[in-house]
Amino acid sequence: MVAPTVKLAVRDLRIAYGEEEAVSGISLDVHANEIFGIIGPAGSGKTSFLRALNRMEMFNDDMHVSGEIVFGGRDISDIRNVYALRQKIGVVFPLPVGLPMSVYDNVALSPRLRGVKNKAALDEIVERCLTRAALWDEVKDRLKALGSLLSGGQQQRLTIARALSQDPELLLLDEFSIAVDPVTTMRIEDVLRELKEEVTIILVTNLVQQARRLADRTAFFLSGELVEVAETEVLFTGEVKDQRTRDYVEGRFG
């Protein structure tokens, strides 16, 4: 059996806000072209973990990160061009954050910043990304309308399309379905299953059944620590290493 390619390697990651430690020495690997789920109750360090992967401590003087994060063979702390790193690591936040511009311009912004100016090339990118986000058919006749006028579920898919327009290698999703109706949530889940053929995905969710539906492997975080990581079905139905994992996935706390 061929060993999976490691896309992201995290070693002894520690994150603190001032004197308070939010993540305590987490080490794990994320494989290429998998959906890697992260579950755990509120305050377990899941969102802080994602922030560190995208160097977001640069926006928060109180956030301190130590340890090693190796992405694509390079320690991200050694990458001076953080904006180039963020082109490779897309992020979708819990609530849709539409830019104050048209649907078209929301998706075309990143390619334009990369120097794509040809209208036909931009049109192709916008259509491809909106299609991959399962949104094209709903908005193709109103590309000039403000993105903020879309429904909540459409705005969340627009956010995914905008992240995809960066051509990322890694896509981070933080509670993407928190403000989305169940039907749209299932549509986005279908999109993610298709996307993993091209992109590695890390999915943070408080919905344990969502992780079970989507993730190839799942990590359980608790109080800033990695309790365990395993194949998702093993985590939910097999022999877990820690009883706290069984208690959490069976709804006894959290």
pLDDT, tens only, 86-123: 889 999 888 776 678 999 999 999 999 889 999 999 99
Residue 22 lies in a domain: yes
Domain with 80 in it: what CATH number? 3.40.50.300
| Residue 150 burial by Cβ neighbours in a 10 Å radius (0-12, 13-18, 19+) | buried
pLDDT of residue 232: 97
Structure-token match 């590309």, residue found = 143
Counting residues of the chain whose pLDDT is more than 70, the rounded percentage is 99
Is the four-CA dihedral 181, 233, 251, 30 of positive or negative sign? negative
Would you give the distance in Å from CA 11 to the centre of its chain? 19
- The per-residue pLDDT for range 136-162, each reduced to its tens digit, is 999 999 999 999 899 888 998 999 999
Residue 143 lies in a domain: no
| Rounded distance between C-alpha atoms, residue 178 and residue 203, angstroms | 13
Q: Count up the domains in the chain and report the number.
A: 1
Residue 125 lies in a domain: no
Residue 42 lies in a domain: yes
Residue 151 lies in a domain: no
Q: What is the overall mean pLDDT for the chain?
A: 92
Find the domain containing 43 and state its range. 6-95+168-249
Phi (first) and psi of residue 203, to 5 degrees: -115, 110
pLDDT of residue 179 exceeding 80, the answer is no
Nearest-CA neighbor of 161 among 120, 221, 209, 102?
Answer: 102
| Rounded distance between C-alpha atoms, residue 74 and residue 142, angstroms | 41
Structure-token match 């360090």, residue found = 45
Residue 102 has what DSSP assignment?
A: B
pLDDT of residue 98: 67
Helices (H), 96-241: 103-113, 119-132, 136-139, 152-164, 182-195, 208-214, 232-237
> What's this model's pTM, rounded to 2 decimal places?
0.92
Residue 113 lies in a domain: no
Residue 100 lies in a domain: no
Residue 53 lies in a domain: yes
Task: Please answer whether residues 166 and 83 qualify as being in contact, where contact means their C-beta atoms are separated by less than 8 angstroms.
Answer: no
| Rounded distance between C-alpha atoms, residue 234 and residue 245, angstroms | 11
